[in-house]
Amino acid sequence: MKARIATTAFALTGGLFLTQAAQAGVIVTIEAPGVTSSQTPLSVGGVETFNGLVGVATTFSTDFGTGGAITGTYTGFDNFQGSTYTFVTPGDQYGGAGGSDYADTYGSYSLDLSSTLNPGGVTYFGLYLSAIDFGNEIQLYDGATLAQTLTASNLYAHLTDPAYLGDQFGEPFVFINFYATGATAFDKVVISEFCCGGLESDNHTVGFYTAITGAEVPEPAAWALMIAGFGLTGAALRRRRAQIA
């Protein structure tokens, strides 16, 4: 049995946003409910589905079906360290697009990316993130620079449609897109779980995007400015009403 957080635990957080320590040069979007694979058009790209990889060794490589244009090396699977481990598991209620095999971690693993088309890496990474809990974290690197940190402590503020919620605990399921902009590229992804159960993901998609899809997840700073703006507007309206009265 996997340790899970009850739906009520989400409610106790007061509807926090999906938090992201996002840096300039990265756009994050989420797809519509029920989408389990990338909708982003790619000039060159491919998918790792994890199908047939149950029991995979600690390190394995893939070209995502790109014929070698993009290659990736996963490190950390079958890495048992006490209660911390990472593995590929058959599809169940917690993950696996369409009931397929998926990656699950109770610790951390990494994906190192390279491309014959761009020495810096790829411009797109997407994944189906399922049964999301407070401990989930995804980091994307551009060389030695941490380009993006996405901490899925609570998704209700963005995933208000009940169609996003699944399994008996009502945890969110969503496909997430990461787009590198400007001179940014992704050459490493670190996927971690810190507290509350596994981080389940599937359909890891990489490539070079030609358009952006999904609904953008705003930066925390942007939301703070928007909230402050709403507050100033409300104060101005209250003063105006007082003057009229």
Complete DSSP assignment for 47-80: EE--TT-TT--SEEEE-TTSTTSEEEEEE-TT--
pLDDT greater at residue 161 or residue 184: 184
pTM, two decimals, is 0.82
Q: Residue 164: pLDDT band by 50, 70, 90 thresholds? A: very high
The mean per-residue pLDDT over the stretch 58-75 comes to: 96
Q: Which CA distances in Å does 114 have to 18, 53, 70, 193?
A: 29, 21, 6, 25
Instruction: Tell me which of 37-41, 164-168, 179-183 is least confident.
Output: 164-168
**What is the domain partition of the chain in residue ranges?**
7-217
Burial track 13-24 (b if 16+ CB lie within 10 A, e otherwise): eeeeebbbebee
Residue 55 confidence (pLDDT):
85
pLDDT at 47: 98
At residue 221, the pLDDT reads 47
Look at 156 and 26; give whichever has higher pLDDT. 26
- Could you read off the pLDDT of 187-204 as tens digits, one per residue? 999 999 988 889 999 999
Out of 2.60.120, 3.30.70, 3.40.50, 3.30.1380, select the CATH number for domain 7-217. 2.60.120
> Is residue 32 pLDDT above 50, yes or no?
yes
Burial of 77 (0-12, 13-18, 19+ CB in 10 A): buried
